[in-house]
Amino acid sequence: MTAALNIVICVIIVIFGVGELIMLLSMSKEMDDIHDKFDEINETKNLYNEMVEGSGDIVTQGYSVKKINQALLEENRDKYYQKYAKYVVLSQLIALFPLLGILGTVWGLVLSGGSGSDVTEMMNGLGMALWTTLIGLFCSIILKFVDATMVGKKVNLIDAKFEQADSIIDRQLIKSEIKAAVNRI
């Protein structure tokens, strides 16, 4: 009975782990979509300028200015915050796998010889009960690796893109305030 119970617990942990993995991979794809949206948000305008120097020579100057589509930026930020909230939950669930494994081990030990009357029976149950801990740890390690290398990495990249866009907007705001102040003088 104890072996069957531990097998059932192991199967539950694996099914839960596969479900979590599928959700993390789906979250990775959703974060890709948010990251790719920054190509539309960042607008680069190429400008051209001609000046006449004191010697009468015409000097040409080409340069580009980054502009941010603020409406698309805020729309993308809202979408990101919704996905990020789901990601935090998924990330926190990874810590449950070792705990589920330990729960299965303790439960198996209690059911196999909780009275302590037969040490041999309890030791036989221990081997099977430890499988739940092993599977819980294995699932947790795999999921944490996927989280760190795929989803977490993309979350950090997206955060950096938002900071970059916000700093461009801040610089543009400061420039427009300076121009307005100069025009008032």
Q: Confirm whether 66 is domain-assigned.
A: no
Q: Confirm whether 145 is domain-assigned.
A: yes
- Mean pLDDT of the region 146-152: 95
Q: Confirm whether 54 is domain-assigned.
A: no
What does the block give as tokens for 181?
Answer: 């102040």
What does the block give as tokens for 158?
Answer: 């997206």
Q: What is the pTM of this model?
A: 0.75
Q: Confirm whether 59 is domain-assigned.
A: no
Q: Confirm whether 64 is domain-assigned.
A: no
- Residue carrying the six token digits 């705001």: 173
Q: pLDDT category, 47, cuts 50, 70, 90?
A: low
Q: Confirm whether 49 is domain-assigned.
A: no
Q: Confirm whether 177 is domain-assigned.
A: yes
Closest CA to 27 of 131, 171, 180, 158: 158
More reliable by pLDDT, 160 or 169: 160
More reliable by pLDDT, 131 or 25: 25
- Mean pLDDT of the region 160-172: 88
- Residue carrying the six token digits 């977490």: 152
Q: Confirm whether 154 is domain-assigned.
A: yes
104 CB-side CA count, 13 A: 29
DSSP one-letter code for 56: S
List, for residues 97-138, the tens digit of each pLDDT value: 999 999 888 887 777 665 556 677 667 677 777 889 999 999
Q: Find residue 61's DSSP bridge partners.
A: 49
Query: Which residues form the domain of 154?
Result: 2-42+71-184
Q: What does the mean pLDDT of the chain come to? A: 85
Whole-number percent of the chain with pLDDT over 70: 83
Number of domains in the chain: 1
Classify 84 as helix, strand or coil: helix
